[in-house]
Structure 1
């Protein structure tokens, strides 16, 4: 009888694992899109980046969350549209337990539509105490065609 219950427990565990993985992929994807839609807001950065973040910019500079947050010091929240509107395409989320690697194409469009820039970004998300946060980020600018 004990073996029967153990077998049932194993089957139930195996059946629910894909659901948990799908939920985590959905959570991380939604988190990314929410961040991009609010990238001009301090609260979005506070929620998205881990305290121990390592960020490597497309220009080769390396910094952490503290430096990102300093960019908001003294700035007031505005109802005006942001100078650049960000979106993500080709989002690829790969889960490894409590870690997720997210690769995507970032599109930055000037709010007046005068210019659009493209980047390939890769982020490493870590789930700590049930909360996903980004611990590493790498941005690479995609050169315009013909460059």
Structure 2
């Protein structure tokens, strides 16, 4: 009986540790998106942005997914060897509210191995179809 209880406890703890936390999952989703944005992948944008997206750009423009995707029409991803600007995430903060996450971070734009721009970004993410998608996004250029 002890062996059976021990085995169940080990299996349960292994299953729990194998699951990602919400912070890990959303961070991976944003980092995957930033990689896709760096190479100019329309698929990465389409997968990450929810249909009901409201995006407020650092220039103060507000638009939805259709407008954002229209700028990528007929675009093919670049070969990673030809990418000149890589986007990254620093100072990540994840706040979970039920099945919704507020994802705050500093977006970096790196050129030739040096970060040349910083943007404060805040996204509201929801999980659907086994992925995290942004329904709201705000970008503010750091002076």
TM (norm. structure 2) is 0.78
Which string of whole-angstrom CA distances, capped at 9 and with x for unpartnered residues, describes residues 98-136 of structure 1? Answer: 1000000010123x4587111000000012354321000
How far, CA to CA, are the matches of 1:92 and 1:81 in structure 2? 31
Which string of whole-angstrom CA distances, capped at 9 and with x for unpartnered residues, describes residues 42-80 of structure 1? Answer: 111011100000000000000111111111112233325
Gaps of 5+ in 2: 1-15
Whether contact under 8 Å (1:109, 1:115) holds in the other structure is yes
Whether contact under 8 Å (1:91, 1:105) holds in the other structure is yes
Which string of whole-angstrom CA distances, capped at 9 and with x for unpartnered residues, describes residues 18-40 of structure 1? Answer: 97x96221110110111111212
Q: How many residues align?
A: 126
Whether contact under 8 Å (2:41, 2:76) holds in the other structure is no
**TM alignment of 1:121-132, pairs within 5 A:** 121-132=121-132
Alignment RMSD, CA only? Answer: 2.4
How far, CA to CA, are the matches of 1:100 and 1:82 in structure 2? 30
Gaps of 5+ in 1: 1-17
Structure 2 residue matching 1:58: 3-state secondary structure: coil
Match of 1:8 in 2: none
Match of 1:4 in 2: none
Structure 2 residue matching 1:59: 3-state secondary structure: coil
Going from structure 1 to structure 2, the CA distance change for 1:113 and 1:29 (only over 3 Å counts) comes to closer
